[in-house]
């Protein structure tokens, strides 16, 4: 049965397709869509085509291998075929008579179909050619359905009725068939070479597909040369976060403190005499004949704590005493006056010795050397007076000596000095661990303040045998830190990079130790209830090169062209393109097969 072939153009709409189906001359209409037929992506359009074909009495066959279109055709029970030459797939409820499989009458059978022995042979394998590009007959569709079997039986019956001489010519036909079979080559003899040839062709196509479609991959390495700029700006720090303005160079700093104790042992060098002090008494007298020029000189006081020394040994009065002269006592003094009543001057001369009585004294230090005999002369005192007096002393006794080791003030100071810097490294690390990587430590802000110092045994205390004296020092450590992001934003805002093709690759602020971690704060100090310092770092600037930019300039291009395009960008020092295999001379167009490596020098 003849057919019309309608090729759908991408610009055709549904009205064009429906018009072509209505105007088709033959009952069978083959629709051949292009690769991208947007008009056939709609289920509604398929329903319109199916409805129009039924109204026009046409059998529309969709020629495509697109699974989505095949599914849409199946939904409206439209016959489909992979190619114009392949057998159409008919819906289960479609009458095969539409495609010439049912015999209407003898005249139609003779006019529209050619029935050959090959067609009648149920073992014939050449029944796949149903629809061709040029109009041709559509052979009987040999299916296992009951309707197809009934049609075949009717066809065989009609042939028997139409051929009255079939029995007479049977031998002749068998002979002709044998001759025809002699001209057909034996397929078994050529089957193995054909299979080998097919396998070889498939391998060649497979290897070619792998080598040129799957295997090609590339790695593009770009090196960027940056320019280093020294950054040096004065900044201010505040401890109140509400007053911080990073964009103006005012940063909030967070403080961490740590109190630790350090101790060390030392050797006591102090020595103290733990013996007893000699005691005795002295007597202070004013000798006879002493002239007292006025009444104020008549009173001679000896306060407690007055020192009296004899032969280098000092004794201290434990109580006070005095030698007082009664100028009005004629028994003690002779009074002599001169001048008139208004300008009379009197002097007083002692008639006899006036004594203070016994005054207790104790040796200034321990030791037997303070044990001396009674001495009536050779005494001196700490009294600052011009009055004449004499001193006599009793024997001094009871002084003993006992030398012991004690902790001296000098011992404690020396041991404390040895603790300077002790534990600072550990304290610095412990303080740093209290900050996350988001913060930059201000190293110059680290301080160690000495607190309470304790000596054991205490100063001037005896160090007993087997005891090692030690000093315990309390130290308070402090350090400040500032947020890295705030510093980085300030550096970026203050750094001039030229035109918009340039960018900042590194501000020197990094949360990891390494080449980029070059920022530090110098000259940190406190001024007027705030802290100041200088922010110093090395800023790296260069051309702005991204993976997307490299991808846009390289995908699908020859290696030499890629290198030339990228090297023309100022600041790119090296471009290297590595391919997966030696025969790959171009960068694949698929971005998933290309990797990029951008290195900043």
SS3 string, 88-126, reads CECCCCCCHHHHCCCCCCHHHHHHHCCCCHHHHCCCCCC
Q: Which of 350, 372, 389 is the last residue of a domain?
A: 389
Report residue 106 as tokens.
């003898």
- Give the model confidence (pLDDT) of 546-556 as tens digits: 889 899 889 98
Across 454-476, average pLDDT: 87
At 219, the pLDDT band (50, 70, 90 cuts) reads very high
Does residue 386 sit in helix, strand or coil? Answer: coil
Specify the pLDDT at position 543: 86
Q: How far apart are the first and last CA of the chain?
A: 76
Residue 160 and residue 26 share a domain: yes
Q: Do strands 321-324 and 470-483 pair parallel, antiparallel, or not at all (unpaired)?
A: unpaired
If residue 247 lies in a helix (H) or strand (E), which one and from where to where?
none
Q: Do strands 520-527 and 530-543 pair parallel, antiparallel, or not at all (unpaired)?
A: antiparallel
Domain range for 193 = 186-212
For the cut 80, the answer to whether the pLDDT of residue 522 exceeds it is: yes
Cα 596 from chain centroid (whole Å): 23
Contact 313, 279 (CB under 8 A): no
Report residue 62 as tokens.
């969709």
For residue 152, being part of any structural domain is answered with yes
d(CA 142, CA 132): 18
Locate tokens 């100063």: which residue? 459
Residue 151 and residue 295 share a domain: no
Does residue 199 sit in helix, strand or coil? Answer: helix
For residue 73, being part of any structural domain is answered with yes
Contact 376, 408 (CB under 8 A): no
Residue 65 and residue 134 share a domain: yes
Across 445-469, average pLDDT: 87
Q: Do strands 333-338 and 345-350 pair parallel, antiparallel, or not at all (unpaired)?
A: antiparallel
Specify the pLDDT at position 167: 43
Q: Which long-range contacts (CB under 8 A, 24 or more apart) does 418-427 make?
A: 418/264, 418/266, 419/262, 419/263, 419/264, 419/471, 419/473, 422/262, 422/264, 423/260, 423/262, 423/475, 424/448, 424/477, 427/258, 427/260, 427/475, 427/477
Spatial CB neighbours of 252, under 8 Å, sequence gap ≥ 6: 237, 238, 239, 240, 241, 243, 244, 482, 483, 486
Report residue 254 as tokens.
């967070």
Spatial CB neighbours of 53, under 8 Å, sequence gap ≥ 6: 21, 29, 59, 60, 78
Residue 204 and residue 157 share a domain: no
Specify the pLDDT at position 178: 55
Contact 73, 46 (CB under 8 A): yes
Across 46-66, average pLDDT: 89
Residue 81 and residue 16 share a domain: yes
Residue 196 and residue 151 share a domain: no
pTM: predicted TM-score of the whole model, two decimal places = 0.45
Specify the pLDDT at position 103: 42
For the cut 70, the answer to whether the pLDDT of residue 121 exceeds it is: no
Specify the pLDDT at position 186: 61
For residue 336, being part of any structural domain is answered with yes
Helix axes 559-567, 547-554, angle to 10 degrees: 130
Which CA distances in Å does 189 have to 87, 185, 186? Answer: 29, 8, 6
For residue 35, being part of any structural domain is answered with yes
For residue 68, being part of any structural domain is answered with yes
Residue 37 and residue 113 share a domain: yes
- Exposed / middle / buried, residue 121 (Cβ in 10 Å: 0-12, 13-18, 19+): exposed
- At residue 252's C-alpha, the angle toward residues 246 and 253, to 5°, is 135
Q: Do strands 470-483 and 439-456 pair parallel, antiparallel, or not at all (unpaired)?
A: antiparallel
Residue 14 and residue 62 share a domain: yes
Residue 171 and residue 37 share a domain: yes
Across 364-384, average pLDDT: 91
Question: Which residue(s) pair with 460 in the sheet?
Answer: none
Residue 200 and residue 160 share a domain: no
For the cut 90, the answer to whether the pLDDT of residue 176 exceeds it is: no
**Residue 538 phi, psi dihedral angles, 5° rounding:** -120, 120
Specify the pLDDT at position 324: 84
Specify the pLDDT at position 435: 92
- Give the model confidence (pLDDT) of 415-453 as tens digits: 888 887 777 888 899 999 999 989 999 999 999 888 888
For residue 298, being part of any structural domain is answered with yes
SS3 content of the chain, % helix, strand, coil (to 5): 30, 35, 35
Cα dihedral 65, 66, 70, 71, rounded to 10, equals 150
Q: Tell me the percentage of the chain whose pLDDT exceeds 70.
A: 82
Number of structural domains found in the chain:
3
Cα dihedral 53, 56, 57, 60, rounded to 10, equals -30
Specify the pLDDT at position 546: 87
Which CA distances in Å does 364 have to 270, 307, 351? Answer: 19, 9, 36
For residue 136, being part of any structural domain is answered with yes
Cα 24 from chain centroid (whole Å): 71
Cα 248 from chain centroid (whole Å): 26
Residue 177 and residue 31 share a domain: yes
Locate tokens 């597909």: which residue? 209
d(CA 444, CA 563): 48
Q: Which residue has the higher pLDDT, 290 or 313?
A: 313
Across 9-25, average pLDDT: 87
Q: Which residue has the higher pLDDT, 29 or 181?
A: 29
Residue 136 and residue 88 share a domain: yes
At 84, the pLDDT band (50, 70, 90 cuts) reads confident
d(CA 309, CA 489): 80
- At residue 343's C-alpha, the angle toward residues 342 and 348, to 5°, is 120
Mean pLDDT value across the chain: 80
For residue 258, being part of any structural domain is answered with no
Q: What's the residue count for the chain?
A: 601
């Amino acid at each position: 049965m003849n057919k019309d072939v309608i090729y759908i153009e991408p610009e055709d709409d549904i009205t064009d397709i429906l018009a072509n189906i209505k105007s088709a001359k033959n009952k069978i209409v083959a629709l051949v869509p292009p690769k991208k037929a947007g008009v056939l992506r709609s289920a509604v359009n398929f329903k319109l085509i199916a409805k129009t074909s039924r109204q026009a009495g046409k059998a529309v066959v969709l020629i495509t291998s697109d699974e989505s279109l095949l599914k849409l055709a199946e939904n409206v029970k439209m016959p489909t075929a992979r190619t114009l030459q392949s057998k159409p797939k008919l819906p289960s409820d479609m009458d095969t008579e539409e495609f010439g499989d049912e015999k209407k009458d003898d005249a139609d059978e003779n006019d529209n179909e050619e029935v050959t022995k090959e067609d009648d042979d149920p073992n014939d394998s050449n029944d796949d050619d149903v629809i061709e590009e040029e109009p041709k007959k559509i052979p009987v569709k040999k299916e296992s359905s009951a309707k197809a079997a009934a049609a075949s039986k009717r066809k065989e019956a009609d042939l028997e009725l139409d051929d009255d001489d079939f029995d007479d010519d049977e031998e002749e036909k068998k002979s002709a068939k044998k001759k025809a079979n002699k001209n057909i080559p034996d397929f078994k003899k050529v089957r193995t070479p054909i299979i080998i040839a097919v396998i070889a062709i498939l391998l060649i196509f497979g290897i070619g597909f792998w080598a040129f479609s799957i295997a090609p991959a590339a790695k593009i390495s770009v090196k960027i040369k940056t320019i280093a700029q020294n950054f040096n700006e004065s900044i201010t720090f505040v401890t109140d976060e509400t007053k911080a303005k990073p964009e103006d160079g005012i940063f909030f700093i967070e403080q961490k403190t740590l109190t630790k104790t350090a101790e060390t042992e030392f050797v006591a060098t102090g020595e103290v005499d733990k013996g007893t002090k000699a005691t005795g008494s002295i007597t202070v007298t004013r000798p006879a004949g002493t002239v007292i020029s006025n009444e104020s000189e008549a009173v001679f006081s000896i306060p407690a704590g007055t020192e009296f020394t004899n032969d280098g040994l000092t004794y201290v009065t434990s109580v006070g005493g005095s030698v007082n002269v009664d100028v009005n006592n004629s028994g003690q003094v002779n009074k002599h006056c001169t001048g008139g009543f208004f300008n009379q001057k009197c002097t007083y001369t002692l008639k006899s010795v006036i004594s203070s009585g016994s005054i207790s004294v104790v040796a200034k230090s321990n030791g037997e050397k303070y044990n001396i005999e009674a001495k009536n002369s050779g005494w001196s005192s700490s009294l600052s007076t011009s009055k004449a007096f004499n001193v006599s002393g009793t024997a001094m006794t009871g002084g003993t000596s006992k030398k012991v080791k004690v902790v001296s003030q000098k011992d404690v100071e020396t041991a404390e000095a040895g603790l300077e810097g002790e534990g600072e490294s550990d304290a610095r690390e412990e303080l740093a661990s209290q900050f996350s990587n988001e913060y930059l430590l201000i190293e110059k802000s680290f301080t160690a303040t000495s607190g309470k110092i304790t000596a054991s045994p205490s100063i001037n205390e005896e160090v007993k045998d087997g005891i090692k004296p030690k000093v315990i020092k309390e130290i308070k450590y402090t350090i400040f830190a500032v947020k890295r992001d705030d510093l980085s934003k300030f550096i970026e805002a203050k750094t001039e990079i030229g035109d918009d093709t340039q960018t900042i690759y590194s501000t020197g602020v990094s949360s990891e130790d390494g080449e980029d971690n070059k920022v530090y704060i110098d000259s940190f100090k406190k001024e007027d209830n705030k802290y100041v310092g200088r922010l110093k770092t090395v800023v790296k600037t260069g051309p702005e090169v991204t993976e997307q930019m490299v991808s846009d300039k390289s995908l699908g291009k020859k290696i030499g062209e890629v290198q030339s395009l990228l090297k023309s960008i100022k600041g790119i020092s090296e471009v290297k393109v590595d391919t997966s295999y030696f025969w790959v001379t171009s960068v694949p167009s698929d971005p998933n097969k290309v990797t990029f490596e951008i290195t900043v020098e």
